[in-house]
Amino acid sequence: MDIIVLGPGATDKKIQRIVRKLEDKGFTANISRGTERTVIGVIGDTSKITDEESSTFESMPGVEKVLRIIQPYKLASRSFKSEDTTIKINGHVIGGRKIQVIAGPCAVENLPTLLKTAKEVKKAGAAFIRGGAYKPRTSPYSFQGLGEEGLRYLAEVKKQTGMPVVTEIMDPRDMEAILQYADIIQIGARNMQNFRLLLEVGSYNKPVLLKRGLCSTIKELLMAAEYIMSKGNNKVILCERGIRTFETETRNTLDLSAVPVLKELSHLPVVVDPSHGVGKRQLVAPMAKAAVAAGADGLIIEVHAHPEKALSDGEQSLKPEKFKTLMKELRAVAKAVGREI
């Protein structure tokens, strides 16, 4: 038993009785109230619940049925919640009809460049500004990001442009600072299975952009989302950013089939990062268009006012004018698949 479904007459009292019974047995409850039905997700090792115990829940007042979920992820699964999850951030909805675009440099480097880039991408139609203040670099000798100073520059850009901020957390010790400045917390590919970090971001009510690990399966991505959601934070956005394969022409292999697969298995919004997916500037636009055609709810794209001077990922960063052209092309693709951008 993983889910308890209550009918339209589910009062608070009836819900609380079920929650208490679950808690007595060492489980926690995740309550999701719909217009017609209330669904209680049972959090914990539900394989221990016997069929007899399960039927005692089924006969409680207000309960319509109890269900088992076959997949190892529950809260993230479509069987738990059939309607698409929408996440509202400063007036922008992720997971709705409108495809949301997050754009900006790989790393925050200095305020003037960040501000210039932000103004350009906003004008072209991006809603969110991205930029890492803590960078997960392969070499310890490469630029590691500006830390809190970078977060302050992002805050200044938000103040001047109104754009909500997407930025990466690498260490729970930076949580307080990140919470203060980020509107969406990014969990990078390298930390997708940093379970302590996932539990930490799950403890706050802040949206999380969860990037697929370099060598992770779709199921592992959904289990990582489950870690976050198990702590009560349902605002998870999944991100396909390319996986490692034998192919070397591109930085990674962008797995666009993950988009329809994730949309089938989960109710969570799906965003695609074509920049890290391909690693080469000239390949970003075609894959961004393909991502929208495949049903992505959003895109995260690296754009830099001066890519040749970028301290990280310059080779995959678009110049603002190329980004502007891409946005125009994306509008047509979005329209063709019944969306807008």
Residue 180 CA to residue 214 CA, distance in Å, equals 29
Site string for ligand PEP, 84-103 (x = CB under 6 A): --------------------
Stretch that binds Mn ion, among 25-33, 104-112, 144-152, 153-161 (CB under 5 A): 104-112
With contact defined as beta carbons under 8 Å apart, do 6 and 15 qualify? Answer: yes
Stretch that binds ligand PEP, among 64-72, 73-81, 109-117, 183-191 (CB under 6 A): 183-191
With contact defined as beta carbons under 8 Å apart, do 80 and 59 qualify? Answer: no
**Helix (H, G, I), strand (E, B), or coil: what is residue 104?**
strand
Stretch that binds ligand PEP, among 69-77, 151-159, 187-195, 303-311 (CB under 6 A): 187-195
- Alpha-carbon torsion angle 16, 18, 20, 26, nearest 10: -140
Q: Which is nearer to Mn ion, 229 or 301 (CB)?
A: 301
With contact defined as beta carbons under 8 Å apart, do 183 and 162 qualify? Answer: no
Residue 136 CA to residue 334 CA, distance in Å, equals 32
| The only residue of 61, 136, 162, 286 in contact with ligand PEP, by rule CB under 6 A | 136
- Residue 258, interface with ligand PEP (CB under 6 A)? no
Residue 209's identity, in one-letter code, is: L
First to last CA, the chain: 40
Q: Given the structure tokens 């997916």, which residue do they identify?
A: 277
- Residue 189, interface with ligand PEP (CB under 6 A)? yes
Q: Which two tokens stand for residue 219?
A: 């199921």
Q: Which is nearer to ligand PEP, 6 or 108 (CB)?
A: 108
With contact defined as beta carbons under 8 Å apart, do 259 and 272 qualify? Answer: yes
Stretch that binds ligand PEP, among 95-103, 188-196, 198-206, 283-291 (CB under 6 A): 188-196
Strand pairing class (3-6; 38-43):
antiparallel
- Residue 168, interface with Mn ion (CB under 5 A)? no
| The only residue of 106, 118, 228, 283 in contact with Mn ion, by rule CB under 5 A | 106
Q: Which is nearer to ligand PEP, 98 or 190 (CB)?
A: 190
Q: Which is nearer to Mn ion, 106 or 305 (CB)?
A: 106
For Mn ion, the binding residues (CB under 5 A) are 106, 313
For ligand PEP, the binding residues (CB under 6 A) are 106, 132, 136, 188-190, 211, 241, 273, 276
